[in-house]
Amino acid sequence: MVNYRYLGNSGLKITEITYGNWLTHGSQVENDVATQCVHAALDAGITSFDTADVYANTKAEQVLGDALKGQRRESLEIFTKVYWPTGPGGPNDTGLSRKHVMESINGSLQRLGTDYVDLYQAHRYDVETPLEETMQAFADIVRQGKALYIGVSEWTADQIRAGAALAKELGFQLISSQPQYSMLWRVIEDEVVPASQETGISQIVWSPMAQGVLSGKYVPGKELPAGSRATDDKGGAKMIQRFMHDDVLERVQRLRPVAEELDLSMAQLSVAWVLQNDNVAAALVGASRPEQVAENVKASGVTIPAELLAKIDDVLGDVVERDAGKTLEGMPKTRVA
Ligand code: NDP
């Protein structure tokens, strides 16, 4: 079974391995397989599920909602997000304006087949909407009971501090930050994590397996495994490119003895690694097949001894990205239409 951790400075407990459906539901993976993956997650003890209105342009929420039908709502923690353009992509179908936030939550609830989400997240920072306007909209959504808690995703340390302060003034709390984090991508460690610790926020981290790369299945010079994300022409192949370089893939292969020493698969090692950081509340793990979910949950509760953590750092060396400036660099400079 999967361990629970508190999400930020709140009373909400979530499974430290949370299932996410980016690029899979409504896109790479057929609906019956998507449903099997969700059921494999439930069978393994995962009760927390992450999606977003933008995934497969709203289809992913629908697929997840359908797959969760019949489950006891109180036993689930459902997270979704708002920011990226959805629907026909009109001028107000995007961003964190009061109009889009208030409308988007209604669409998400309808597709997910629920009266409320447990966590509603700003998927990015919106440079075109005053932060006060966004936070007031979130405060109202919490008061309406449509979302129980509020979080953010890929915000910088300064944005997190400003958002947390405003939320406090408005009588609610930001409790989570959803950044990319893995052995290969550690840009949150120097600034986002300290700002979050200061403000009572924890991380729920995306792509802990670097989209499958840290499972070790992409071997330099060998053919790409059939059906893998690197072969997914609906979007996955493009997204995973940032890690598909021989120097990265070679170093990843050299992690194999570390995984063996712990009696873990490489995939399990990568998920366990992010969970060693105590500001991380959950690893958000994706899957294209139910067997992957069953394998990945075994990372829950694993402790990696300090000498093996050091060995991982030695093996990966300078292919690890640590530049805190990457969060700001990756942020949309104007609202995306
Ligand atoms: P992962 O790094 O966990 O990658 C998951 C993919 O790796 C799977 O779809 C599968 O792809 C492959 N995989 C999984 N398990 C195994 C295994 N045991 N052996 C081999 N391959 C495996 O995370 P994702 O990139 O999918 O992201 C996870 C979640 O994070 C998303 O669903 C979403 O909820 C969230 N997210 C949030 C973002 C944000 O901006 N806030 C951005 C991106 C993601 P395949 O089999 O096709 O190779």
**Per DSSP, what are the bridge partners of residue 180?**
206
CA of 236 from ligand 1 middle (Å) equals 10
Q: What is the pairing mode between strands 13-15 and 4-6?
A: antiparallel
pTM > 0.85: yes or no: yes
Based on the residue annotation, tell me whether 55 is a catalytic residue of this protein. Answer: yes
- Measure the CA–CA gap between 274 and 279, rounded to whole angstroms: 10
Out of 4, 19, 55, 218, which one is annotated catalytic? 55
| Residue among 22, 214, 298 whose CB has most ligand 1 atoms within 8 A, to mutate | 22
CA of 213 from ligand 1 middle (Å) equals 10
Q: Is 262 exposed, middle or buried (0-12, 13-18, 19+ CB in 10 A)?
A: middle
Q: Is residue 71 part of a domain?
A: yes
Task: Tell whether ligand 1 has an atom less than 6 A from the beta carbon of residue 206.
Answer: yes
- Predicted pLDDT at 336: 80
Q: Is residue 335 part of a domain?
A: no
Number of domains in the chain: 1
* CA 320 from centre of chain: 19
Q: Is residue 336 part of a domain?
A: no
- Whose C-alpha lies nearest to ligand 1, atom 4? 211
- Whose C-alpha lies nearest to ligand 1, atom 30? 206
- Measure the CA–CA gap between 57 and 264, rounded to whole angstroms: 36
Q: Is residue 64 part of a domain?
A: yes
Nearest atom within ligand 1 for CA of residue 208: 2
CATH number assigned to the domain comprising residue 274: 3.20.20.100
Task: Tell whether ligand 1 has an atom less than 6 A from the beta carbon of residue 296.
Answer: yes
Comparing C-alpha atoms, which of 295, 208, 212 is closest to residue 24?
A: 212
CA of 163 from ligand 1 middle (Å) equals 28
- Measure the CA–CA gap between 248 and 243, rounded to whole angstroms: 7
**Per DSSP, what are the bridge partners of residue 14?**
5
Q: Is residue 324 part of a domain?
A: yes
Task: Tell whether ligand 1 has an atom less than 6 A from the beta carbon of residue 8.
Answer: no
CA of 106 from ligand 1 middle (Å) equals 27
- Whose C-alpha lies nearest to ligand 1, atom 5? 286
Q: Is residue 337 part of a domain?
A: no
Task: Tell whether ligand 1 has an atom less than 6 A from the beta carbon of residue 97.
Answer: no
Longest pairwise C-alpha distance within the chain: 56
- Predicted pLDDT at 337: 79
SS3 string of the chain?
A: CCCEEECCCCCCEEECEEEECCCCECCCECHHHHHHHHHHHHHHCCCEEECCCCHHHHHHHHHHHHHHCCCCHHHCEEEEEECCCCCCCCCCCCCCCHHHHHHHHHHHHHHHCCCCEEEEEECCCCCCCCHHHHHHHHHHHHHCCCEEEEEECCCCHHHHHHHHHHHHHCCCCEEEECCECECCECCCCCCHHHHHHHHCCEEEEECCCHHHHHHCCCCCCCCCCCCCHHHCCCCHHHHHHHHCCHHHHHHHHCCHHHHHHCCCCHHHHHHHHHCCCCCEEEEEECCCCHHHHHHHHHHCCCCCCHHHHHHHHHHHHHHCECCCCHHHHCCCCCCCC
CA of 271 from ligand 1 middle (Å) equals 11
Q: Is residue 193 part of a domain?
A: yes
Task: Tell whether ligand 1 has an atom less than 6 A from the beta carbon of residue 217.
Answer: yes
Comparing C-alpha atoms, which of 64, 11, 13 is closest to residue 42?
A: 64
Task: Tell whether ligand 1 has an atom less than 6 A from the beta carbon of residue 209.
Answer: yes
Nearest atom within ligand 1 for CA of residue 227: 47
CA of 313 from ligand 1 middle (Å) equals 22
Nearest atom within ligand 1 for CA of residue 293: 15
Give the Å distances, CA to CA, from 48 to 80, 127, 310. 11, 30, 31
Per the CB < 8 A criterion, the answer to whether 81 and 49 are in contact is no
pLDDT tens by residue, the chain, 337 residues: 899 999 999 999 999 999 999 999 899 999 999 999 999 999 999 999 999 999 999 999 999 999 999 999 999 999 999 999 999 989 999 999 999 999 999 999 999 999 999 999 999 999 999 999 999 999 999 999 999 999 999 999 999 999 999 999 999 999 999 999 999 999 999 999 999 999 999 999 999 999 999 999 999 999 999 999 999 999 999 999 999 999 999 999 999 999 999 999 999 999 999 999 999 999 999 999 999 999 999 999 999 999 999 999 999 999 999 999 999 999 999 988 7
Task: Tell whether ligand 1 has an atom less than 6 A from the beta carbon of residue 282.
Answer: no
Provide the domain limits for residue 176: 4-329
Nearest atom within ligand 1 for CA of residue 52: 34
Torsion sign over Cα 139, 141, 143, 145: negative
